[in-house]
């Protein structure tokens, strides 16, 4: 695929977006995605941003993981909290029944993690219910106007702000995930969706468009490997959701 093929975000639908996927298929996909996060820095990108958002004195932390999939990020956040002397409590949220069931099973040993099946566009939470809202490898599933709406919604229920961890739309990122999903054991769905997710992902100007559609100030940083770390801080310097 030429560089011109990455000029605009793809609108092709990913297979994982089909909420009718069965339990066996969904479980394999979610295990594969946890592998990608482990190898390509997905956990570090989110945790570093959460650390920057929180006041140093904050010892009890309430986190919503929106579009959480299998709940692997929740486990990493809880472990990070323990390592830093914080009590981190995470609610994972996903629209898919099978994803929520998988997360509930995989997190059953953690009393600081819980699971809710819900639509992120209609979250059943109130203003300030969480200190931080995070989402990882999730926003690229939506067209840009919907991403803006989602950020506004998540910003409104957070106390300190929102963390977005998503992919950089770039030919090298596309080639890398294409190769990785063929070297490592991966389901046919991940082999299809992995490269497509890069084509559906973002370049820096896309975040400028999201800022234009909201009154949120976005702190956008590039992270290895081909990740965007985006923070929408809530407060005097972070803006107020407006669109």
How many domains in the chain? Answer: 1
Please compute the mean of the pLDDT values over residues 184-209 and round it to a whole number: 94
Q: What is the DSSP string of 116-148?
A: EE--GGG-S--TTSEEEEEEES-GGGS-HHHHH
Residue 239 lies in a domain: no
128-176 pLDDT, tens digit per residue, is: 999 999 999 999 999 999 999 999 999 999 999 999 999 999 999 999 9
Q: Where are the beta strands (DSSP E) in 29-100?
A: 60-66, 87-94
Domain that holds residue 100: 3-233
Residue 13 lies in a domain: yes
Residue 198 lies in a domain: yes
pLDDT tier at 1, thresholds 50, 70, 90: low
- Distance, in Å, from the CA atom of 16 to the CA atom of 6, rounded to the nearest integer, reads 21
- Distance, in Å, from the CA atom of 226 to the CA atom of 119, rounded to the nearest integer, reads 28
Residue 243 lies in a domain: no
Residue 27 lies in a domain: yes
40-67 pLDDT, tens digit per residue, is: 778 999 999 999 999 999 999 999 999 9
Residues 138 and 65 sit within 8 Å (Cβ to Cβ): no
pLDDT tier at 19, thresholds 50, 70, 90: confident
Contacts of 152 (CB under 8 A, 6+ apart): 214, 216, 241, 242, 243
DSSP 168: B
Contacts of 226 (CB under 8 A, 6+ apart): 40, 167, 168, 170, 172, 173, 176, 198
pLDDT tier at 4, thresholds 50, 70, 90: low
pTM of this structure:
0.92
Q: Scanning the structure block, which residue is given the tokens 């990455």?
A: 6
Residue 240 lies in a domain: no
CATH code, domain with 183:
3.40.50.150
pLDDT tier at 185, thresholds 50, 70, 90: confident
Residue 242 lies in a domain: no
Residue 110 lies in a domain: yes
């Amino acid at each position: 695929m030429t560089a011109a093929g990455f000029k605009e975000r793809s609108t092709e639908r990913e297979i994982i977006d089909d909420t009718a996927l069965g339990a066996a298929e969904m479980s394999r996909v979610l295990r594969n995605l946890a592998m990608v996060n482990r190898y390509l820095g997905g956990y570090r990108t989110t945790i570093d941003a959460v650390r920057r958002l929180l006041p140093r004195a904050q010892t009890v932390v309430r986190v919503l993981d929106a579009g959480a999939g299998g709940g692997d990020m929740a486990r990493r956040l809880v472990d990070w909290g323990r390592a830093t002397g914080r009590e981190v409590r995470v609610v994972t949220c996903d629209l898919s029944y099978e994803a929520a069931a998988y997360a509930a099973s995989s997190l059953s040993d953690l009393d600081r993690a819980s699971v809710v099946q819900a639509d992120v566009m209609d979250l059943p939470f109130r203003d300030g219910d969480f200190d931080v809202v995070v989402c990882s490898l999730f926003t690229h599933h939506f067209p840009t106007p919907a991403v803006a709406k989602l950020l506004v919604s998540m910003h409104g229920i957070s106390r300190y702000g929102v963390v977005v961890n998503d992919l950089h739309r770039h030919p090298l990122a596309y080639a890398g995930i294409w190769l990785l999903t063929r070297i490592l054991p991966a389901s046919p769905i991940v082999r299809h969706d992995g490269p497509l997710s890069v084509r559906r992902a973002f370049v820096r100007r896309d975040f400028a468009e999201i800022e234009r559609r909201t009154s949120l100030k976005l702190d956008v940083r590039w992270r290895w490997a081909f990740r965007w770390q985006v923070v929408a801080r809530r407060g005097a310097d972070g803006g107020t959701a407006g669109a």
